[in-house]
Structure 1
Amino acid sequence: MEQVTFSILISTKDRRDDLMLTLSKIAPLLSPTVACVVFDDGSTDGTSDAIKAQFPQVVLHRNESSKGYIFCRNTMLNETSATYAVSLDDDAHFLTENPLEAIARHLEKYPQCGLMACRIFWGMEAPDRTESLDKMHRVKGFVGCGHIWRMEAWRNIPNYPEWFEFYGEEMFAALHLFRFGWEIHYVPELLVHHRVDMKARRTMKGFSLRYRRNLRNDWHLYFLFYPWAKIPRRLAYSLWMQTQKIFRGQTMVFKPMFLALADVLFSIPNYRRNRTALTPSQWREFQKLPETKIYWSAEN
C-alpha cells in the first residue's frame, strides 16, 4: 500500500445535504495517496447511511451519541498517518484547481510553516470571480472551515481543548504553534467556498449560545496564554465593549455576556492545569503579527 500523503478530515452532525455536496466536490481529489475521513458525531438524519451508499471510498467514523466537534477533530488528527491533513467544514469545498499540488509545493518550500490558512469566501453562492491580489504572508491564526496541518507541527502541540466546545480552539492551537516556533501562513492561492447564509446566521435561534461561547473562549485564551500583567486591561476593555453594545440597544448580548462570565469562574481549575503563558517578549512578538484572515470578498 502507498503511504497516504494527504488526509481530508471532516466532522459533521445532521447536515447530510451539505456534506454530500462537499464530498461530491472532494471525490475527484481522492486516490491511493489521498484519503478522506468523515466523523459523524451522532447524526439522526441518515448521514452515515448516505456516505456508505454514495461515497464508499470515504473512511467513516461515527459516534452513536454526540461527543462534540472538537472531540471528532482531535480523534481524526491523532489517528491519521498522513503527512498533511486538510481540515474542512461539512459545508466547505475548494474552488482552487489542483489544491493538493499547491499545498505540497508550499509546505515543501517553507519547512517552518506548520499550518496553512486558506482564503475563504463566505456565502451561499460562489463568487463571481476568484482571482485575488492578496499575497502570501504570516498571520496570527486561522479559520476552522479551511486549513491544512503539517502533521509534524500538530504532534508538537496539545490537542484542541474539548472544554472550549466550539470557537476559540483555533487560536488555542495558533498560540501553541507560536510557542513552539511554527509559523501560520495565509496562502490566498487556496480558495475555499464556505457555503453559509451570513444574514441567517446572525439571526438564527442559537445566537445566544454562539455569542456566549465565542466571548467566553476569548476570555479563556487570556487566562491561558497572556502574561498576567496584560490580562486585567484586556478583560476590562472586552467588558467595556460589551456594555457599550447593551447601551446602544443590543440588549440580546446581556444574557450571554453574564453567562460567559460565570463560565470563566467555573473554568478556573482548567486555567490552573493548562496555563502555558507567553513570556512578555513572546507576547510582544505575537502582537506584531498580522491578524487572522477570516473573510475574503470578491470586491477586494
Structure 2
Amino acid sequence: MQVVSKKFSILITTKNRLEDLVYTLHKIQYLIEKTDVECVIFDDGSTDGTYEFVKENFPEVKLERNPYSKGYLYCRNKMLNETRADFAISLDDDAHFVTEQPLELIANYFDKNPKVGLLGFRVFWSKQNPSSIFSSDLSIRMKSFVGCAHVWRMSAWRAIPNYPEWFVFYGEEDFASYQLFKKNWAIDYLPELLVHHRVDLKARKDNTDYSLRLRRSLCSGWNLYFLFLPLPLIPKKMAYSIWMQLQLKVFKGDWKALKGLLLALMDLLFALPKIINNRNRLTGAEYEAYQKLPETRLYWKPEEEATL
C-alpha cells in the first residue's frame, strides 16, 4: 500500500500531563481533521493513562509510546525523522494556536521565502488568556527559536544533525540554530501566528525541579560554547557565565542555584567526549555575522501590558 504524504505534521511529546494534552487537542481539533494534516502524539512513558485515553477518544491521532521515559529530545528526533510531511509543527502539550487558519499562514510564508528553514511564532506565556491578540511586530530573521511552538521546513531538518539527546533538555534549539546557520538556512519570526503557552513562569522558581532546570540550562549553554564558538572566546564566556550565577543568585543566598552550578560543571566534564565528536565551530567571520542577527523572540505581551 502506498503511503500518502501529508503537507503538515503536528508533533506533540507528552508525559503525565493528560489534562493539558486533552485541552490542547480540543483546541487544535479543527486542524487535525484536515485531510492534509497528521497529528502525532508521543507518550514518553506516562503513568496517568495518557496513551489509553488518547487512543479511545482521539482515534484520528497517530500514537507512539515509550514504555519508560527516554526524554523529549529522543521523541522529537524520532517523530521528525519519521514524518513524510513537508512541514512539521512542534507543539508543547500545554500550548495551542490562537490565530485562526495558522497552516495557511505557514505555507504562504515558506513559499515566499525559500531560504527559511524554520519559523518561530509569537508566543504568549501565561495561565491567563491574553487581553489582546493584536501586535505590531514584523517578521524578521532571528538567531534561534522557541521550542514550545515552531515549524520546520523538513528539507532543512534533514540537512542538519539530530537534536543532541545528551543535552536532556534545554539548548537543543540553539544547537539546531547554529547548525542551520552553518548550512545557510534562515530562522524567521512569524508574528501573525499567535500561540498561547499555558505556563506560569513566575511559579517555576518555586518548583521542586528548579535546581535541576538550572543545572541543565547552564550545562547546555556551556556545551554550546565548546561545540560552536571560536576557541579564543570560550574562557571569557565561561568565566562570565559562572560569575553572573554567583553574583545574582549564590551570593544572595540561593543555595539551590549553587547546587545547580556545581552539578552543571560536573556534567560538562562528563560531556567532553561528546563535545569533541560533535563540534562544528563557527569561524570568526561566521560568529560575527551570527551575532549581528536579531535576538530570538521568546516572550510576547499585548502592547498595552508591555508598557506597564
TM-score w.r.t. the length of structure 1 is 0.98
Instruction: Work out the CA distance in 2 between the residues paired with 1:263 and 1:64.
Output: 27
Secondary structure of 1:219's partner?
helix
Given the alignment, which residue of 288, 296, 300 partners 2:300?
A: 296
Structure-1 residue corresponding to 2:40: 37
Deviation of residue 251 (structure 1)? 2.9
Deviations 1:93-150 (A, max 9, x none): 0001100000000000000000000010001111010000111000000011000000
Q: Does 1:266 align with 2:270?
A: yes
Alignment correspondent of 2:149:
146
1:180 to partner: Cα distance: 0.2
Partner residue in 1 for 2:230: 227
In the alignment, the residues of structure 1 paired with residue 58 and residue 285 of structure 2 have an alpha-carbon distance, to the nearest angstrom, of: 50
Other structure's SS at 1:44 match: coil
Q: 1:78 to 1:130 in 2, by over 3 A?
A: same
For residues 13 and 91 of structure 1, the distance between their equivalents in structure 2, rounded to whole angstroms, comes to 11
Q: Which ranges of 4 or more aligned residues in structure 1 deviate by more than 4 Å?
A: none
Mean Cα deviation higher: 1-10 or 85-94: 1-10
Residue number in structure 1 paired with 2:251: 247
Q: What's the counterpart of residue 8 of structure 1?
A: 10
CA distance in 2, matches of 1:134, 1:38: 32
Q: Which residue of 2 aligns with 1:188?
A: 191
Once the 2 structures are TM-superposed, how far is the Cα of residue 151 of structure 1 from its aligned partner? 0.1
* Alpha-carbon distance in structure 1 between the residues aligned to 2:200 and 2:289: 36
Map of 2:22 onto structure 1: 20
Alpha-carbon distance between aligned partners in 2 of 1:83 and 1:29, rounded to the nearest angstrom: 16
What one-letter code is carried by the residue in structure 2 that aligns with 1:69? Y
Q: List per-residue Cα deviations over 1:191-235 (Å, max 9, x = no partner).
A: 110001222212101000000000110000000000001101111
Among candidates 283, 287, 305, match of residue 283 of structure 1 = 287
CA distance in structure 1 between the partners assigned to 2:273 and 2:43 by the alignment:
31
More divergent stretch after superposition (279-288 vs 238-247) = 238-247
1:3 offset after TM fit, Å? 3.2
RMSD: 0.9
* Contact 1:137/1:186, CA 8 A, preserved across alignment: yes
**Structure 1 residue 176 and structure 2 residue 179: aligned?**
yes
2: distance between equivalents of 1:284 and 1:251?
A: 36
- Aligned-partner residue type, residue 274 of structure 1: N
Shift of 1:2: 5.0
Secondary structure in 1 aligned to 2:294?
A: coil
1:248-271, Cα deviation, whole Å (9 max, x unpaired): 333321110001011111111011
Query: Does the residue aligned with 1:193 lie in a helix, a strand or coil?
Result: strand
Q: What number of residue pairs does the alignment pair up?
A: 300
Identity rate of aligned residues, in percent?
55
Gaps of 5+ in 1: none
Shift of 1:242: 1.0
Q: CA deviation at 1:53?
A: 1.4
Q: What is residue 95 of structure 1 aligned with on the other side?
A: 98
> 2 CA distance for matches of 1:38 and 1:5?
17
User: How far off its partner does 1:32 sit?
Assistant: 2.1
